[in-house]
Structure 1
Amino acid sequence: MVSVRTVQTAPFDGQKPGTSGLRKRVKVFQTPHYTENFIQSIFAAVPKPRTLVVGGDGRYLMTDVIQKIIRIGAANGVTHFIVGRNGILSTPAASCVIRKRAADGGIILTASHNPGGPQNDFGIKYNMSNGGPAPESVTDGIYKASLELKEYKEAEVSPVDLAALGIQKFDGFAVEIIDSVTDYVELTKEIFDFELIRKFRQQTPEFTLLFDGLNGVTGPYARRILVDELGFPESSLEQCTPLEDFGGGHPDPNLTYAHKLVERVAGEKISFGAASDGDGDRNMVLSHDWFVTPSDSVALIAHHAECIPYFKNKGVHGLARSMPTSCAIDRVAAAKGLQCYEVPTGWKFFGNLMDANKLSICGEESFGTGSDHIREKDGIWAIVAWLNIIAHQSQQKAKLVDVKHLMLDFFKTYGRNYFTRYDYEDVDSAGASKMMEQLRALKKQALESSDFGGFKVSHVDDFEYTDPIDASVTSKQGVRVIFADSSRIIFRLSGTGSQGATVRIYIERYDDKDVELDAQVALRPLVLAALEISKLEQFTGRKVPTVIT
């Protein structure tokens, strides 16, 4: 057996994983023993994995950490590592590989949509054998182990060649380097009607596409699917080379950070624009004349699910959304006689429902959309779903049915849930926490006498979720102010940053008559109400948001 050495260490503060693992600045992970401690804590807390999938989004420090995972994993009983070539595996692809290869779990190296590079962010998260993020019971166990750790173990082996496809054997374990894209592409071809999309592309030359990978992990996946399989020209791709620092950009697919895509789509009158984030689990869809909110996107996919072979064959067992996501998908569920679940933010909550065969399509307003084909949100999946729907509807109507017309038809059927999100990033954590404390103390009676642009408060609470599968309770998930006409304002602190705090304010109003207003105009009275109720500027000193979605 391979020689193993034991390294003496001591616990570090703050190694508690959030909803998406442990995220810190690169320099924190470079602290001697810090990364090794956390990896050892994973192996101390989870059932001993024999087969482990490993990969990440290509950001700075990833390959160094993969070598550490192999050394520490081998010393803790892992006998088979499955690693993406050059370490690359998108988060959806990692989930796919875990499930396809019946692995015991996986370690994904990503800070998702956060910036990369030596001065920016890194992250480590553990996924279970179902391919989904570890539940709180496991992340709590990892944290507990990190507080008690006194040593970690490492196999004494030379570095693995991460570029060489095939199996590299060591004394007592093996490392299999796989093509990062193949398994995921094969699964995608089983889900969607590629032949229909190819035919649509050939017969509709006026339909143009532009995909922006934001120099994240999805570039190779987009190239294989959009260009090699579906036949779109290479010029349809932008920023599709994974870079350690994402080209100096912020790999978050929204109107602010994906501004190059937004400008090109508008300027060149492109029919269909799309982007994904650093690790490939988020997406944005737009056209030169319409921006699709993530809430509307998942609702529209659910509405048209029957034209996607996967759902036509398997059926749709239920729909779900995260609590802050607009209620548009609820209306689709009601029309189709389906159960619609409202869960806390975090894909693991969807995973429980999927494993119980109660959920097929779901989404989060934070640009995450997916289905039960894997147990992570999936940016490329959502984009191909849109192409499948556009191709099908265009075939049915014998003319191009573009993004705007799809959305307007949807609104004519269901009405429109106007929605926006205001993000205040890297604010003072103490001030943000005090703001949330005063919001949690709010009572409906205290707000009833106030007039918020004609909106009357009917309910105030702090969202709490009891999982219908395992009966676990998740509390303090966001303060909701709900108005008599079903409009909502929601306040949350985000757990996806590496430092400071991010305050998110979600604002929603339903209208079944006037569905073509500018969302910011339609929601302005509620935006002012949100700022008045929260006293955000007083607590944080911030006058304007970092990002408006």
Structure 2
Amino acid sequence: MTFKSVETQPYPDQKPGTSGLRKQVAVFQQLHYLENFIQSVFDCVGDVSGKTLVMGGDGRYFNEEAIQRAIKMAAANGFARVVVGQNGLLSTPAVSHLIRHRSASGGLIFSASHNPGGVNGDFGVKYNVGNGGPAPENITDAVFARSQVIETFRIAQAPDVALDALGSHDVGGMVVEVIDPVADYADLMQKLFDFAAIRELFKAGFTMRFDAMHAVNGPYAEKILEGMLGAPAGSVVNKVPLPDFGGNHPDPNLVYAKALFDLMMSADGPDFGAATDGDGDRNLIIGRHQFVTPSDSLAILAANAHLAPGYNKGIAGIARSMPTSAAADRVAEAFGVATYEVPTGWKFFANLLDAGKVSICGEESAGTGSHHVREKDGLWAVLLWLNILAKRKQSVAELVGEHWATYGRN
């Protein structure tokens, strides 16, 4: 196996945003553009010899090609193991969990989140650190600085890895482990939520519609909601991840998930509706005739989290982004716990989560999560809603109305 050092030239526009580097696909297809950024990351994270790196993406156009290049670069840079989802798929919260579960040094996430996909769409790369969360600003600033002076990148001269089948492969002495993208995440969800109660909810005739938006959470939702929890077959729609998300915009809001909203507002709509975005970290929650804002969803989840086994000892605190309403603050006041306000960007929740100061986090742009990972988690929010509905034995509209009566409407 030959490791090659390839000469390259810097690109001036590789400064990561709040969640990695996002550009149009055509930009990433420029000569060595992707390799420059990945090498800059590897150059800024210290000695990686003997360490594990997690990789996966949302299945958008250019995903597998980018992962194949990144695997070869990881081998040439000295990683001992790469853990990658089958077909290159891993949701962003699943990557965060795997980093923590496998004690990996970090992970590369190939996604542009809720941005459109396809050959004329967007692509992105984000590095998450050893706690499972997005790289903090000191690392992203160093990566950008490195990208401005990069002269070479290192890559293995090796054939592509077969990502379509589970198994292990050798790339230049580095182990590449192709795993079921859902299994470890599903195991974690079983520990957090009362699956038996949710199964009974569905057995009693409860109905739902989950729109996976032809994005990464399709396989996760089908396995967990229909396969493990007994939601009726067909409850999960648009469940096959597609490179262009079926020509749609994978953003779970009232513009791009209007079909779901219209169904939920109809006379014969299901009891519960939900959707998640391209990489599976954002969520939309709608009850029959009841839209739930992201701010209200955060507050209601925090107020009722104790009904789930993973949170039955209560919450340590709540954190929210600055633009998020104060609905969660009212819950924190009633529970006698602290509220923390942070800038927009999930990376700013990580220190609070690591310090054990908060259990539940959320932001105005439809992101909610908890201490189980260091990313927002769309399917986690859906499952916590289901757990709460199963225990409270109320409709979404009844639950929201009672919450407003108790805590006020913010």
Q: Normalization by structure 2: what TM-score?
A: 0.98
* 1:292 aligned partner: 292
Contact 2:136 2:347 in 1 (8 A): yes
In structure 1, distance between residues paired with 2:47 and 2:197: 45
Cα displacement (A) at 1:288 = 2.7
SS in 1 for 2:265: helix
| Gaps in structure 1 of 5+ consecutive residues | 395-400, 418-549
For residues 66-87 of structure 1, what are the alpha-carbon distances to aligned partners after superposition, in whole Å with 9 as ceiling and x for unaligned?
A: 0110111111111100000000
Alignment-derived partner of residue 424 in structure 1:
none
Note the 1:60-99 alignment, pairs <5 A.
60-99=61-100
Q: Which residue of 1 aligns with 2:330?
A: 331
Distance 2:165 2:286 in 1: 38
Match of 1:255 in 2: 254
Q: CA deviation at 1:393?
A: 0.5
The alpha-carbon deviation at position 47 of structure 1 amounts to 2.1
Q: Secondary structure at the match of 2:39?
A: helix
**How far 1:249 sits from its partner (Å)?**
0.3
Please list the CA deviations of residues 327-355 of structure 1 after superposition, one character each: whole Å capped at 9, or x if unmatched: 00000001100010000011111111111
How far off its partner does 1:119 sit? Answer: 0.3
The DSSP-based 3-state class of the residue aligned with 2:388 is: helix
Matching of residue 411 in structure 1 with residue 410 in structure 2:
no
Deviations 1:513-549 (A, max 9, x none): xxxxxxxxxxxxxxxxxxxxxxxxxxxxxxxxxxxxx
Residue equivalent to 1:155: 156
State how far apart, in whole Å, the 2-side matches of 1:228 and 1:48 are: 42
1: CA distance between counterparts of 2:364 and 2:257? 17
Task: Please state how far the C-alpha of 1:172 moved relative to its aligned partner.
Answer: 1.8
State the match for 2:315 in structure 1. Answer: 316
What CA deviation, in whole Å up to 9, does each residue of 1:376-424 have, x standing for no partner?
0000000010000000001xxxxxx10111000000011101xxxxxxx
Q: Which amino acid aligns with 2:84?
A: V
Residue of structure 2 equivalent to 1:402: 395
The corresponding residue for 1:30 is: 29
3-state SS of paired residue (2:213): coil
Task: After TM superposition, give the deviation of residue 166 of structure 1 in Å.
Answer: 1.4
Q: Secondary structure at the match of 1:304?
A: helix
**Residues 458-469 of structure 1: pairs in structure 2 closer than 5 A:** none
| 1:13, distance to aligned residue in structure 2 (A) | 1.0
1:171 corresponding residue in structure 2: 172
Q: Deviations 1:276-308 (Å, cap 9, x if unpaired)? A: 000000000002311000000010011111111
Structure 2 equivalent of residue 10 of structure 1: 9
Shift of 1:234: 1.6
Aligned equivalent of 1:145: 146
Equivalent residue, structure 1, for 2:42 = 43
Separation (CA, whole Å) in 1 of partners of 2:382 and 2:239: 15
Assess if the C-alpha contact under 8 Å between 2:265 and 2:290 holds in 1. no
1:316 is displaced (CA, Å) by 1.3
In the alignment, which residue of structure 1 is the partner of 2:125?
A: 124
Matches of 1:287 and 1:216 in 2, distance apart? 22
Give me the whole-angstrom Cα distance separating, in 2, the residues matched to 1:235 and 1:157. 42
| 2:275/2:284 contact within 8 Å kept | yes
Higher Rg of the two aligned structures: 1
**Given residue 239 of structure 1, which amino acid in structure 2 is its aligned partner?**
N
Partner of 1:183: 184
Which residue does the alignment assign to 1:483?
none
CA deviation profile, 1:192-226 (whole Å, cap 9, x unmatched): 000011112212x1x31000001000000000111
Q: Show the 5 A alignment for 1:137-286.
A: 137-203=138-204, 205=205, 207-267=206-266, 268-286=268-286
Q: Runs in 1 of length 4+ with deviation above 3 angstroms?
A: none
State the Cα distance separating 1:171 from its structure 2 match: 3.3
Distance 2:403 2:287 in 1: 16
Per-residue CA deviation, residues 421-443 of structure 1 (Å, 9 max, x unaligned), is xxxxxxxxxxxxxxxxxxxxxxx
CA contact (8 A) 2:75 2:171 kept: no
| Count of matched residue positions in the alignment of Structure 1 and Structure 2 | 407
Whole-angstrom CA distance in 1 between matches of 2:308 and 2:350? 21
| Aligned-pair identity (%) | 53
Secondary structure in structure 2 of the residue aligned to 1:234: coil
Deviation at 1:265, TM superposition (A): 2.1
SS at match of 2:75: helix
User: Is the partner of 2:398 in helix, strand or coil?
Assistant: helix
Distance 1:304 1:82 in 2: 35
Query: What SS does the corresponding residue of 1:235 show, helix, strand or coil?
Result: coil
Contact kept in structure 1, 2:288 and 2:397, CA below 8 Å: no
Rounded Cα–Cα distance in structure 1 between residues aligned with 2:3 and 2:67: 18
SS at match of 1:214: coil
For 1:170 and 1:343, the matched residues in 2 are separated by 42
TM-score normalised by the chain length of structure 1: 0.73
- The separation in 1 between residues aligned to 2:289 and 2:396, in whole angstroms, is 8
Specify the code of the residue in structure 1 equivalent to 2:72: R
Partner of 2:353: 354
Verify the 8 A CA contact 2:40 2:143 in the aligned structure 1. yes
Distance in 1 between the 2:404 and 2:261 partners? 23
**Shift of residue 152, structure 1, vs aligned partner:** 0.8
Cα distance, 1:99 vs structure 2: 0.6
Report the alpha carbon displacement of residue 237 of structure 1 after superposing the two structures with TM: 1.3
- Corresponding residue of 1:544: none
Output the CA distance in 1 between the equivalents of 2:101 and 2:374: 12
CA distance in 1, matches of 2:342, 2:141: 20
Cα distance between partner residues in 2 of 1:266 and 1:317: 36
Matching of residue 103 in structure 1 with residue 104 in structure 2: yes
Give me the whole-angstrom Cα distance separating, in 2, the residues matched to 1:261 and 1:238.
10
CA shift, 1:170, in A, is 3.1
Q: Aligned partners of 1:117 and 1:48: how far apart in 2?
A: 35
Supply the distance in 1 between the matched residues of 2:350 and 2:138 (Cα, whole angstroms): 14
> Displacement, 1:269?
2.1
CA distance in 2, matches of 1:283, 1:118: 25
| Whole-angstrom CA distance in 2 between matches of 1:299 and 1:386 | 12
* Counterparts of 1:375 and 1:404, CA distance in 2: 30
Cα-to-partner distance string for 1:149-181 (whole Å, 9 max, x where unaligned): 011111111111111211112332110000000
